[in-house]
Amino acid sequence: MKRFLIAALIASTSLAAHADAVEDFYKGKTISFVIGSDPGGSFDPYARSLSEYMPKYIPGNPKIVNKFAGGQSGGLQVANQIHNTIARDGLTIAMTQQTIVLHQVLTPEYAKYDAREWYWLGNMAPVRNMLAIWHTSKARSVADARNVEVVIGATGPSSPTYIVPNILNKFVGTKFKIVTGYKGAADLNLAMQRGEVEGRGASWLSVQLSMPQEIADKKIIPIVFASITRDPSAPDVPTLAEVMTDPLHRRVAEFLSAESDFGRSVFLPPGVPAERAQALRKAFELTMKDPGFLADAAKLKLYIEPISGDELARITRLIVDAPKDVVELAK
């Protein structure tokens, strides 16, 4: 009993020392929150809400400052930067496009990172990517797009704005003409309204937040979701896998749709001191339960369905270790 009590005392003293060290480190500091998107899309309100509430749960109560870095190329630039050049001291957290783990497998020549080495704080909500058509288009469904050309706006080849129409062209025979180079969701919305393009992809949430009236007026119409399950707000719209007839194509569609679980996930680069990483994860988890955070999210119409950092790590390993035939065809 004496040995047990001594061991318990040593352990509690060690934990207290770690907690004090974390608090001392973060007191008076500023954490940079690097976001692989432009302001104006669905990343924006999620990031701002997290930055407002999370600091009070971090020992030392540092400030969090958002730094929007653009979503070009599906956030690859941000992922590469976080993995390779950012100081691994716990003063930088990141959130980028949900396709980022897939692209480690699909475009290793550009993805200079290993997401299995990241420390995931958690996910605020899964986000279902989609392809939506502007009301001026002659097509109103995936089947229609097999017969008429539809101009689709996209940011870059590794973005979901490109991936969804591209896989439909390859596997279903649609005639989407994909125009790249747009900066993000807000830019794509303007392009549709100006008549430059007839549709766009990315997350349905970004449309719900930025164009609610256009949804109500049926000016923008989702035709397919790149997700494992149908979106509750549009239950009649099929998933990407559901429009595939070939079994292998369906498996590829499911593989590509797995990224929806990463939604609005936040992570650290590898090598951050364990006690700081654990403190940030705990702060993230507590923020997801904070009444003020949840009330503000409801006002902003932000969907909150947290996924733990451990679960994100598990899904990451499943994607990176996917069967070769599925990966090769997805490529």
Mean pLDDT in residue range 236-247? 96
According to the model, what pLDDT value does residue 124 have?
A: 96
SS3 229: coil
The residue type found at 217 is D
Which is it for strands 30-35 and 199-200: parallel, antiparallel or unpaired? unpaired
CATH number for the domain running over 129-259: 3.40.190.10
According to the model, what pLDDT value does residue 209 have?
A: 83
For the chain, the domains span: 21-126+263-330, 129-259
Cβ(215)–Cβ(207) under 8 Å?
Answer: yes
Q: Which two tokens stand for residue 286?
A: 């507590």
Answer whether 21-126+263-330 and 129-259 agree in fold. Answer: yes
pTM of the model: 0.73
Q: Which two tokens stand for residue 317?
A: 């390993």
Place of tokens 């654990």: 278
Q: State yes or no: pLDDT of 8 exceeds 60.
A: no
Which is it for strands 220-226 and 129-134: parallel, antiparallel or unpaired? antiparallel
Nearest to 125 by CA among 48, 43, 67, 186: 43
Residues 188-229: pLDDT tens digits?
999 999 999 999 998 898 898 889 999 999 999 999 999 878
SS3 58: coil
| CA 22 vs CA 56, 64, 285, 310: distances in Å | 14, 16, 17, 22
Q: State yes or no: pLDDT of 70 exceeds 90.
A: no
Beta bridge partners of 304: none
Residues 295-325: pLDDT tens digits?
999 999 898 989 999 999 998 998 999 999 9
High-pLDDT (> 90) share of the chain, %: 72
Which residue has better confidence, 16 or 322? 322
Nearest-angstrom CA–CA distance, 50 and 122: 12
Task: Write down the H helix ranges in the chain.
Answer: 2-26, 43-53, 76-84, 100-106, 160-171, 185-194, 204-210, 212-216, 247-257, 274-287, 291-299, 309-320, 324-330
Q: Which CATH class is domain 21-126+263-330?
A: alpha beta
Mean pLDDT in residue range 116-122? 97
Mean pLDDT in residue range 156-183? 94
Spell 75-94 as b/e; 16+ CB within 10 A means b. Answer: bbbbbbbbbeebebebbbbb
Under the phi-then-psi rule, with left for phi > 0, alpha for psi from -120 to 50, and beta for the rest, what region is 90?
A: left
Reported confidence tier of residue 18, pLDDT bands at 50, 70, 90: low
Nearest-angstrom CA–CA distance, 271 and 40: 32
Cβ(237)–Cβ(165) under 8 Å?
Answer: no
Nearest-angstrom CA–CA distance, 77 and 38: 13
Nearest-angstrom CA–CA distance, 202 and 159: 8
Residues 36-57: pLDDT tens digits?
988 887 889 999 999 999 999 9
